[in-house]
Amino acid sequence: QVQLVESGGGLVQAGGSLRLSCAASGRTFSTYWMGWFRQAPGKEREFVAALGRTSSTYYADSVKGRFTISRDDAKNTVYLQMNSLKPEDTAVYYCAARIALGLTSMAEDYDYWGQGAQVTVSS
């Protein structure tokens, strides 16, 4: 069983930055493929970014060039650096871990999920 705990959410003005962290339990974190998703009120959960074991990355078009996903395997942590934030980035952000190989944007392909962190961007 893997437990994921997000932190770093909050309120920021448009154009500002935030960094989300996701700490994972377990001794095999380095083998997981990690992802970030978000869900805005009244909308479905959507893919944000994914990161493989060899640092390969995959981003949604809506965040490409503004968000960066990274990992520190020594700390069992994955990060989401969010720059140039927009009001439409407001959502609950979820960290997810995938045991199988391969980058994917499909939520159903991920095996474990965190509880979510609220990010609110004011205009």
Q: What pLDDT sits at residue 100?
A: 87
The pLDDT value recorded for residue 57 is 94
Tens-binned pLDDT, residue by residue, of the chain (123 aa): 899 999 999 999 999 999 999 999 977 888 899 999 999 999 999 999 999 987 799 999 999 999 999 999 999 999 999 999 999 999 999 999 999 888 899 999 999 999 999 999 999
Residues facing 23 on adjacent strands: 5, 77
Q: What is the pLDDT of residue 103?
A: 87
pLDDT for the residue 18: 98
CA distance 5 to 22: 5
Question: Are 20 and 117 spatial neighbours (Cβ–Cβ below 8 Å)?
Answer: yes
Q: Write down the residue that tokens 């990355």 correspond to.
A: 57
What is the CA angle 54-32-5, rounded to 5?
120
